[in-house]
Amino acid sequence: MMDFGGPVRIAYLECFSGISGDMFLGALVDAGVPPDLLTRTVAALGVDARLEISRVTRSGISAAKVDVIAAGEKELPREEFWVAKQAGHHHDHHEHSHTHDQDHHAGHEHRHDHEHKHAHEHAHRGLKEIREIINRSEIGSDAKARAIRIFEALGAAEAKVHNSGIEEIHFHEVGAIDAIVDIVCAAVGADALHVDEWVCSPLNVGGGTVECAHGTFPIPAPATLELLRNAPVYCGEIQKELVTPTGAAIVSVLTQRYGSFPRMRTEKTGYGAGSRDFKRHPNVLRLSVGEGEAVGDEAKRIPSEEISILEANIDDMTPQIFGYVMEQAIEAGALDVFGTPVQMKKNRPGLLLTVLCRPEDAARLRQLIFAETTTLGVRTRQETRATLARRHVSVQTKWGEIRMKLATLNGSGKVTNCAPEYEDCRRIAEVRKVPLKLVMQEAIRIYLEKEND
């Protein structure tokens, strides 16, 4: 029988020196995520990038340092992107550097000129293209979904700051490659830890000011502050930008609660290094992974989120178009789409189209429904959705490897459901000429036997 018990696996991020994409990757590697997994992930993306992984010392602390070499450039500021503020306008707005602890020294003028040249040589990438890059990569479905969610959180924050739609946000090509690698590797590496809950400390955002498109702003920068609006933050003695927008986006999507070091038995600890080496202040992100026990109401706590539900009754459209609309909605970022048969006025059979999405995507998906269907009205409401934590393990069958999706109760660590990935089973069934149901049954049997050994 399946074991439904077990302790909670917790990952705790200590952001006493902030967080950036490269710091998070370094902490993952130092905590035991295989570097080869991240390098394979970069290769799977099919972009012009590679990782450079090394060990450095920050105020006496040994840490892993991960650099993304994008388009052959290591000196390009990390995660810098150009924002096109108005739809159809391609004026380049030089946003503040997303590089962790970027030092604005004399060399910055040279880098600005170099980047300005790149801005005219490379196309811009919008979120739609970035979603396509992630979706066509050969990485796990959960990691894909999480990476897209992180990127969309980053885009939504920028859109709000610049008073534009999320699809109007464009990333300069070189900066986009760098951010794609950071975010996708972060999602893949986070999945590889197989934890049930992510907890984060209050975040030291740094201090001082930063140059943005429209002038000088105090730290944290506008997009960073928007991403951290529900997180506890503070300003320490270091007068530099310590939390980057990408780091803030990763935290905002991964973290289920904020607080002090949780009650846990630590198994692994990893340190990810930032770019600068401060005096008497270790510029590192610490990641601790271990087992804890649910306490009090925490055992019953399941993460929830606010979602938008869009609905439209349709009785005068061909079914082929209905299927197309469902596919387009998923491509545009819908969390789920389904159709329900309904009996409409004048006894006409029809379909109820239901789209679940994040609130920031509702306007865009509503526009898609109006453009692609024959409906004259779309209903919108807000609801709360509770979700179980999901992760993948692989089983080896006599026909090939199949991924198993596991659902666990956050706060208890209990596995409540296991199911083989349909696409893996279908591929094997078609190639090996085996009934699909037998492939699925065999995958479940092997998983259960392995769990009960």
CATH number of the 389-452 domain: 3.10.20.300
Let me know how long the chain is: 453
68: left (phi over 0), alpha (psi -120 to 50) or beta: beta
Per-residue pLDDT of the chain in tens (453 residues, 90 and over written 9): 333 344 688 999 999 999 999 999 999 999 999 999 999 999 999 988 999 999 999 999 999 999 998 877 654 433 333 233 333 333 333 233 333 443 333 333 333 333 333 333 344 677 888 889 999 998 988 899 899 999 888 888 888 887 777 777 766 544 578 889 999 999 999 999 999 889 999 999 999 987 766 678 899 988 899 999 889 999 988 999 999 999 999 999 999 888 889 889 999 999 999 988 998 899 999 999 999 865 444 444 566 678 999 999 999 998 899 999 999 999 898 999 999 999 998 888 999 999 999 888 899 999 999 999 999 999 999 988 877 777 778 889 999 999 898 887 654 456 788 899 999 999 999 999 999 999 999 999 999 988 776
In the chain, CATH 3.30.70.1380 covers 304-386
Q: Is it true that the peptide bond before 220 is cis, omega within 30 degrees of 0?
A: yes
CATH for 304-386, options being 3.40.50.300, 3.30.70.1380, 2.40.260.10, 1.10.540.10: 3.30.70.1380
CA dihedral 212, 218, 222, 228 (to 10 degrees): 140
Q: How far, in whole angstroms, is CA 45 from its chain's centroid? A: 15
Tell me if the pTM is above 0.95.
no
Measured CA to CA, the distance from residue 419 to residue 421 in angstroms comes to 6
In the chain, CATH 3.10.20.300 covers 389-452
